[in-house]
Amino acid sequence: MPTPLLFTPLTMRGVVAPNRAVLSPMVQFRATDGLVNDFHLVHLGKFALGKFGVVFTENCAVEPRGRVTQGDLGLWDDGQIASHKRLTTLLKAEGSVAATQITHSGRKGSTPRTFDKPGALGPEGAGWQRWEVVGPTDQPAAEGWLKPRALSATEIEGLVTKFADAARRADAAGYDVVEIHAAHGYLLAQFLSPISNTRNDIYGGDCAGRMRFPLDVARAVRAALPANKALFVRVSAVDGAGGWDVADTVVFAAALKELGVDVVDCSSGGLTGAATAAGVTRSPGFQVPFAAAVRRQAGVASMAVGLILDGPQAEAILRAGDADLIAIGRQALYEPFWPLHAAQALGCDPDWTMWTPEYGWWLEKREHTLGRK
C-alpha cells in the first residue's frame, strides 16, 4: 500500500519532519522561574518515544509578565537556555523535531491554573503572586479579570525585541521550529481584534494598524532565526467574539507568508475569557475549515488542530488538501503514542518497526502469540 500522507516527511527550510503528526503546545503549570525540569523531560519525552514528527513545548513567555501563570515555561533569560537544551537533546535523540512556542499573555496574564478552585492562584502553599498585566488598552479580558495597563508605543517596540531575543534563545537551545503564539486572546491576538484593540495610534485602527505589532514580531523573529529553521504562527482564525474572522485571517496569513513564515497553525477563539471558553462550537475537526481556508486562499502551509482523534481522520484531512500538518492535543494526553497507534490503524506498520525496537520487537512477537500474524 502507498505510504499514508500522515507518515510522509515534510521539509520546511532545513527542517525535515519525519511525519505530519505534531504534538500541540500544552501548558502544564509545572515550571519554576520558567525553567525546564525533570517533569517536562518525562512529559514531552513520551511524545518523542510515541514518534510525533514534531514535539512542541508549551507556550514559553518572552518576559516574566507575559506568562499566563507563574508555572509557565520561559525564554526570557539566557540562564534558561541550558534547561531547554536538555529537552531538545532528548527529543532529537528519539527522532522528533524539537519545537517551541513563544508568547506574551498580555491582559490574560497572572491567572489561576485552569483547574484551580475559585479564589485560588496556583498550587496550595506555593506562594504564587499576582503581577501587573498589560494590554492594548486598559480593558480586561472579561468581568472579574485583572485590569491591564495600556502599553505605550515605546513598550510595544521593546516587546518586539523581546520576542526576537526569545527566538534567539530558542535557536541556541536547539529548537528547530519556533511558533509565535498569536491566538487564544493572548497579547498578539488582543492587538488583532477590534474588540480588544481600540487604540488610535499606529498600532490600532484599521486592520493594517491592528496587524502592525504582530507583523513586526514575525519580521523580527524571522530575522533572529537562522534561515534553515522554520517559523510557525498560531492564529485564532476567528476570535470567538465577532471581531476578527476568517477573511481577516487570510489577509494576515498572506502577510505572514511574505515575511517568511512557513506554517500558519489554525486555532480559534479565546479573546474574551479563558482559552477553554472559546466561544466557538466544538465538534470533531471543527477548526479544519480554517486551516483549509488559509492553505488555499493565502497559499501558505497550514496546520490543523482541534478534536482530531485518530489516524484515519488525520489522513482524510491531509488527503483533502486541507492542511499540511496535524496537531494533536488532548488525544495525545490520553494516548501519548498516538502516531504509532495511527500507523497501526492505517496499516502502514505491519512489522512494528516504527516503534523504538525495545518496544516494537516485543509487540510484534506478541502478535504471533495472539495468532494475529
Ligand X SMILES: Cc1cc2nc3c(=O)[nH]c(=O)nc-3n(C[C@H](O)[C@H](O)[C@H](O)COP(=O)(O)O)c2cc1C
What are the grid coordinates assigned to 119, written together? Answer: 479564589
What are the grid coordinates assigned to 163, written together? Answer: 520576542
Using only C-alpha atoms, the chain has a radius of gyration, in whole angstroms, of 20
Residue placing its CB nearer to ligand X in the complex, 25 or 106? 25
| 307 interacts with ligand X by CB under 6 A | yes
**Of 41-49, 143-151, 179-187, 288-296, which part binds ligand X (CB under 6 A)?**
179-187
Among 59, 83, 96, 139, binds ligand X (CB under 6 A): 59
Which one-letter DSSP state was computed for residue 129?
-
Q: How many CB atoms lie within 10 A of CB 90?
A: 19
Nearest 10 degrees: Cα torsion 195, 266, 69, 41: -170
Of residues 240, 213, 219, 226, the one with CA closest to residue 170:
226
Among 313, 331, 344, 356, binds ligand X (CB under 6 A): 331
| 268 interacts with ligand X by CB under 6 A | no
Residue placing its CB nearer to ligand X in the complex, 290 or 355? 290
Residue placing its CB nearer to ligand X in the complex, 121 or 307? 307
Among 26, 62, 292, 326, binds ligand X (CB under 6 A): 26
Question: 314-336 b/e with 16+ CB inside 10 Å = b?
Answer: bbebbeeebbbbbbbbebbeebb
Among 329, 341, 360, 361, binds ligand X (CB under 6 A): 329
| 306 interacts with ligand X by CB under 6 A | yes
CA 75, CA 361: separation in Å to the nearest integer?
39
**Of 79-87, 190-198, 324-332, 347-355, which part binds ligand X (CB under 6 A)?**
324-332
Subset of residues 76 to 135 that bind ligand X, contact rule: CB under 6 A: 101
Residue placing its CB nearer to ligand X in the complex, 331 or 356? 331
Write down the least CB distance from residue 239 to ligand X, Å.
14
| 229 interacts with ligand X by CB under 6 A | no
Residue placing its CB nearer to ligand X in the complex, 105 or 197? 105
CA 53, CA 318: separation in Å to the nearest integer?
15
Among 19, 105, 267, 302, binds ligand X (CB under 6 A): 267
Q: Are 71 and 31 in contact (CB under 8 A)?
A: yes
Strand ranges (E), the chain: 10-12, 15-17, 21-23, 54-61, 73-74, 97-103, 134-135, 149-150, 177-182, 230-236, 263-267, 301-305, 325-328
Spot the catalytic one: 175, 186, 203, 334.
Answer: 186
Tell me if residue 186 is catalytic. yes
Write down the least CB distance from residue 272 to ligand X, Å.
17
CA 248, CA 40: separation in Å to the nearest integer?
36
**Of 14-22, 256-264, 288-296, 323-331, which part binds ligand X (CB under 6 A)?**
323-331
Which one-letter DSSP state was computed for residue 233?
E
Applying CB under 6 A, which residues contact ligand X? 24-27, 58-59, 101, 181, 183-184, 234, 267, 305-308, 328-331
Active site residues: 186
